[in-house]
Chain A
Amino acid sequence: MNSGNGILGWFKSVARVWAREFRLVFGDMGVMVFFFILPLGYPVIYTLIYNTEVIRDLPIAVVDHSRTPESRELARMVDATSALEIYDYCPDIPSARRLSNEKKVFGVLEIPADYAKKVGRGEQTQVTYYADMSLLLRYRAALGALTDVQLSLGDNIRGETIDNLGIIAESIEGDTISNDAVFTGDPTQGFASFIIPGIIVLILQQSMVLGITMIAGGVSERRRRNHGYDPLSVDAPAGATLIGKTLCYLVCYVPMTLYVLHLVPMMFSLPHVGNIWHSFMFILPMLLASAMLGQFIAVFVTERESSMLVVVFTSVVFLFLSGLTWPRYAMSPFWTLVSDAIPATWGVEGFIRINSNGATLAEESHPYVMLWMLTGIYFVVAYVLHRISFGGKKTESYGSVSKI
């Protein structure tokens, strides 16, 4: 079948590739899983995992060598914080260690024997908190709670001492300089509110790349079986093929994007303050760049399943390269360059700021431009590779050849 000449012919080939790709996507359960089920299910599963957001009532043990009203007050204040809970009082450190070894407690607060004496004498006294470091989030929760206790206890003691000294000075007692901490993007400092907006963008990219490589694996298997011809492919120029396929993926991902970027944050009350149209405009080049990246990788795929062996683990790599956990300013120039080449890096960066911080598209112009550049670069690379690998043997549509 000839695709005709001129501009019109080219558009016709794009349309035919587009239509054929739809058939391939919807006729293949494996691709459907990646294109639809995965973006539908994963955000929900991930949010459910982290939906408790913060650590509450982390059990700790108290070793109180002082055994005075003052030390008990300290313990009560610690117990009253939302992050910590006193699981038990222990007579000495070894017995507290035993509790810790049995995973009954994840921290030990040791109050020294001279605690009350020093507080009464106006000397500084040091209380020690031994933290289990297997998870830094636990340490962080305890640290925040204990810092608050330390500050408010300090205020109480200072107030009392100054009263006892008989000095009247407003500037000492009150908070002459009070401080007010504001958290943007994730005001409750919850874990789900922090990580889900980033993860959902990564899910869009990875599910699309996995789906595309699986389609390509199918194509290459059919081609092997049919002496180099794929009966289901459309004879079209490389550019038209790439663009036609991209249009198909884009259409498939429109409802998915609406769901992932808008409904998921709404369902779970995650941060969602940005203008949704800015988010959509912003994510468009990320989807295009992902589609091009997928088609670039697809050139190397020879089998439906083997690509999964290599592509799956990159999700973890891309998550870290996106700067969500380890910020990009602390990466070495080499890793910065690698992360620059991943669409999700810019997608995550821009989307979390639009979604959680209420940034506008104009404020995210840098990641936005980078995404368009990546789209262009991956298109060119995929185009060249396409020409090299399929250019010599034009595929044709045979009605009679086996379709398996």
Chain B
Amino acid sequence: MLKIFRQSLNYGWRRLCSRRIYLVSCVVVPILFAFFFMDLMKEGLPLKVPVSVVDQDHSSLSRRVVRNLGASELIDVAHTDETYADALARLRKGETFGFFIIPHDFQKDALSGIGTTITYYSDMTVFVPGSLAYKGFKTAAVTTAGGVVQTTLVSTGINENVAGTLLQPVVIAEQGIGNPWLNYSIYLCNSFIPGVVALMVMLMTCFTICEEIKNGTSIEWLRMSGGSMLCAVLGKLVPQAIIFSIIGVGLQAVMYTMVHFPMNCPAWHMIIAMILLVIGSQGLALVIVCAIPNLRLSVSIASLTGILAFSIAAYSFPVQSMYGAIGIFSYILPPRYYFLIYADQALNGIALYYSRWYYIALLLFPLAGMVGLRRLKKHCLNPVYVP
């Protein structure tokens, strides 16, 4: 038995080393992607959003507001425009992500108490810079209004300190746990890099198994494993699991030790999660292969699910806010569980107890994959390729 397994394993390794495309998919793609991702967002936040200012007042107060805007780290007052139309045209051209309008008679109306309105436009077609521009504008507008109120209060005889606290009697301070810098790299790399590993695992599993059927070598493959489908599948998938796990854990090592992403749990919690993610994705891919043992269709379905996983596994939009009928699909995707483990363990550093079900769920995928092995065996014995 052991001899047959070793023979099957040898076959698996030989096939894995036989084609360049395997090396590219297993090793080059995940590493390249991880490098791309970590390097792209290494700044953490895309600060200094280019915006423009329309100052129609040209008074000392309006110039102070513009200076305040310029001092913000969030925005960069790259342009000044004369009219609303100019500023809007610039925004449509994509030169800016927002503009800030100081109306005519701003100083006069503000100081005399007539009242005036600052209007600011943020371009939400691109979320992150739009939000940052909004935040920068709002801070400037609120502090400007506060400054005027404070001046008036002090001039009526109120102590300067009291006047200061009256501007903001209650402050709600937000503490982002684990990622107080709102670092996008930490937020996205931790979900998308394992996501790509899972995608490639699924594609490779479907491709390598169905390729045997397409090329008509599946009979030889089964023969090498003593006719046992389980043994054949293990012989093929274990070498891939080893390679992907090494790559995945290596990428974790880069993220948590070299780039210093938050890691608030013992390392083995995440290492096991990565290995289980690899095995779980193989299990899910095996379910697909057993259901549709056709190279093109199963690889297509694996890629469609793998790509949709980035959305349904809720890396950006929470499952709790999706329609229920869509949200439940996130629970048939291994990357979802890895993501939950990451949030619990590496990010929040809570007790392993709270993540127990996620580990168990990842373990269930390979079991699910074994259900259809008999069907797969039938197809392997009668390899028919339908292009």
Chain A residues close to B by CB (< 8 Å): 28, 30, 33, 38, 45-46, 48-52, 54-56, 74, 101-102, 109, 119, 122-140, 142-143, 146-147, 149-151, 153-154, 157-158, 161-162, 165, 167, 169-172, 174-187, 189, 191, 193-195, 197, 214, 218, 271, 304-306, 308-310, 312-313, 315-317, 320, 323-327, 329-332, 335, 349, 352-353, 356-360, 363-364, 366, 404
Contact with B24, one of A310, A317, A329, A357 (Cβ below 8 angstroms): A310
Query: Contact at B165–A123, with CB atoms within 8 Å?
Result: yes
Contact B40 A150 (CB under 8 A): no
Chain B residues near A132 (CB-CB < 8 A): 177, 343, 348
> Residue among A119, A165, A177 with the most chain B CB within 10 A?
A177
Of the A-B pairs whose beta carbons lie under 8 Å apart in the complex, a sample of 20, sorted by A's number, is A28-B387, A54-B321, A119-B169, A125-B169, A131-B177, A133-B176, A136-B187, A137-B317, A147-B172, A162-B153, A176-B116, A177-B141, A179-B119, A180-B117, A182-B121, A309-B29, A323-B126, A329-B46, A335-B36, A357-B123
Q: Which of chain A's residues have a CB closer than 8 A to the CB of B127? A: 186, 191, 194-195, 325
A15 CA to B72 CA, complexed, in Å: 60
Q: Which residues of A contact B134 (CB under 8 A)?
A: 181, 183
Residues of A within 8 A of B227 (CB): none
Q: How far is the CA of A209 from the CA of B91 in the complex (A)?
A: 31
Please give the distance in Å from B127's CB to the nearest CB on chain A: 5
**Interface check B310, CB cutoff 8 A:** yes
Closest residue of A by beta carbon distance from B114: A176
Question: Which single residue of chain B is at the shortest CB-CB distance from A170?
Answer: B113
> Out of A129, A139, A179, A324, which one reaches B120, CB within 8 Å?
A179
B145 touches A178 (CB 8 A): yes
B306 in contact with A176 (CB, 8 Å): no
B125 with A357: CB separation less than 8 A: yes
Known: A45-B308, A178-B115. A330 touches B43 (CB 8 A): yes
**CB–CB A51/B323 < 8 A:** yes
How many angstroms between the C-alpha atoms of A124 and B172 in the bound complex? 11
Contact, CB under 8 Å: B25 / A139 = no
Q: Do B306 and A154 have beta carbons less than 8 Å apart?
A: no
Q: Is B291 engaged at the interface, CB distance under 8 Å to the other chain?
A: no
User: What residues of chain B lie closer than 8 Å to A101, measured between beta carbons?
Assistant: 344, 348, 350-351, 354
Q: Are A179 and B207 closer than 8 Å at their CB atoms?
A: no
Which residue of chain B lies nearest to A146 when distances are taken between CB atoms in the complex?
B172
**Given A130-B175, A358-B92, do A50 and B170 touch, yes or no (CB 8 Å)?**
no
Binds A, one of B178-186, B248-256, B267-275: B178-186
B2 at the interface (CB under 8 A from A): no
Interface residue SS majority, chain B? helix
Interface residues of B in 238-275 (CB under 8 A from A): none
Q: Once the chains bind, are B119 and A357 in contact (CB under 8 Å)?
A: no
Taken together as a complex, chains A and B put the C-alpha atoms of A364 and B182 apart, in Å, by 32
User: What A residues does B211 contact at CB under 8 A?
Assistant: 305
A27 to chain B, nearest CB (A): 10
- The answer to whether A363 touches B387, judged by C-beta atoms less than 8 angstroms apart, is no
Q: Given the complex of chains A and B, what is the CA–CA distance between A325 and B174 in angstroms?
A: 23
Residues of B within 8 A of A186 (CB): 124-125, 127, 130
Given A349-B94, A353-B125, output 14 extra A-B contacts at Cβ < 8 Å.
A101-B348, A109-B172, A130-B175, A137-B317, A140-B131, A147-B138, A162-B153, A172-B152, A176-B148, A309-B24, A309-B29, A310-B21, A312-B307, A360-B92
Task: Say yes or no: A329 contacts B50, CB within 8 Å.
Answer: yes
**CB < 8 Å: which of B144, B169, B326, B351 contacts A49?**
B326
A191 and B165 CA atoms in complex are apart in Å by 37
- Which listed residue, A56, A143, A197, A335, touches B125 by the CB 8 Å rule? A197
Evaluate whether A194 and B316 lie within 8 angstroms (CB atoms) in the complex, with A154-B170, A181-B138, A316-B307 already known: no
In the assembled complex, the Cα of A50 lies from the Cα of B310 at a distance in Å of: 12
Q: Is A179's CB under 8 angstroms from B192's CB?
A: no
Q: Which residues of A contact B13 (CB under 8 A)?
A: none
Given B164, B311, B387, which contacts A404 in the complex, CB threshold below 8 Å? B387
Q: Give the CA-CA distance A133 to B175 in the complex, in Å.
A: 9
Set B92, B145, B315: member contacting A179, Cβ < 8 A: B145
- With contacts A30-B300, A177-B148, A308-B299 taken as known, whether A133 is within 8 angstroms of B125 at the C-beta atoms is no
Is there an interface contact between A180 and B115, defined as CB atoms closer than 8 Å?
no
Chain A residues positioned under 8 Å from B351 (CB to CB): 101
**Residues of A contacting B168 in the complex (Cβ-Cβ under 8 angstroms):** 124, 150, 154
Q: Is the CB of B323 within 8 A of A317?
A: no
State whether B173 touches A126 (Cβ < 8 A).
yes
Q: Contact at B170–A74, with CB atoms within 8 Å?
A: yes
Cα A50 to Cα B316 with chains together (Å): 10
Residues on B with beta carbons closer than 8 Å to the beta carbon of A128: 172-173, 175
* Chain B contacts for A325, CB-based, 8 A: 127-128, 188
Q: Closest 4 interchain pairs by CB?
A: A330-B46, A171-B113, A185-B125, A134-B343
Which stretch in B198-206, B276-284, B370-378 binds the other chain? Answer: B198-206
> Is B121 within 8 A of A184, CB to CB?
yes
Residue from A165, A187, A326, A358 having most chain B Cβ neighbours under 10 A = A326
Assess the B141–A154 pair: CB atoms within 8 A: no
Report the Cα distance A327→B134, complex, angstroms: 15
The answer to whether B158 and A165 have CB atoms under 8 Å apart is yes
Instruction: Give per-residue flags for B208-235: 1 if the beta carbon is below 8 A from chain A beta carbons, else 0.
Output: 0001001000000000000000000000
Which B residues are CB-close (under 8 A) to A125? 169-171
In the complex, the answer to whether B300 meets A332 with C-beta atoms within 8 Å is no
Contact A327 B174 (CB under 8 A): no
Quick check: A169 and B152 within 8 Å, CB to CB?
yes
Contact A182–B119 (Cβ < 8 Å): yes
Cβ of B41 < 8 Å from any Cβ of A?
yes
Contact string, B132-164, partner A, CB cutoff 8 A, digits 1/0? 001001100110110011001100101000101
Q: Is the CB of B92 within 8 A of A353?
A: yes
CB distance from A361 to the nearest CB of B (A): 11
Q: Provide the bound-state CA to CA distance between A276 and B116, in Å.
A: 38
| Cβ contacts under 8 Å, A165 to chain B | 158
Whether A56 lies near B321 (C-beta < 8 A) is yes
How far is B104's CA from A66's CA once the two chains are assembled, in angstroms?
Answer: 46
B296 is contacted by which of A56, A142, A304 (Cβ under 8 Å)?
A304
Q: Provided the pairs A124-B171, A183-B122, A330-B43 are in contact, do residues A313 and B199 lie with their beta carbons within 8 angstroms?
A: yes
A374 to B162, CA, bound (A): 62
Nearest Cβ distance between residue A316 and chain B, in whole angstroms? 6
Please judge, given known A-B contacts A326-B40, A357-B91, whether A30 and B170 are in contact too, CB under 8 Å.
Answer: no
With A129-B172, A154-B168: A309-B204 Cβ-Cβ less than 8 Å: yes
Q: Are B387 and A218 in contact (CB under 8 A)?
A: yes
Q: Are B29 and A184 in contact (CB under 8 A)?
A: no
CB proximity of A399 to chain B, nearest CB, Å: 20
Indicate if the CB atoms of B203 and A309 lie closer than 8 Å.
yes
Complex Cα distance A111/B348, Å? Answer: 22
* Contacting residues, chain A, for B53 (C-beta < 8 A): none
Interface string of B349-375 (1 = CB under 8 A from A): 011001000000000000000000000
Instruction: Give Cα A327 to B141, complex, Å.
Output: 25
| Residue from the list B115, B162, B192 in contact with A175, Cβ < 8 A | B115
A171 to B351, CA, bound (A): 54
For A102, the closest partner residue in chain B by CB is B354
What residues of chain A lie closer than 8 Å to B126, measured between beta carbons?
Answer: 194, 323-324, 327, 352
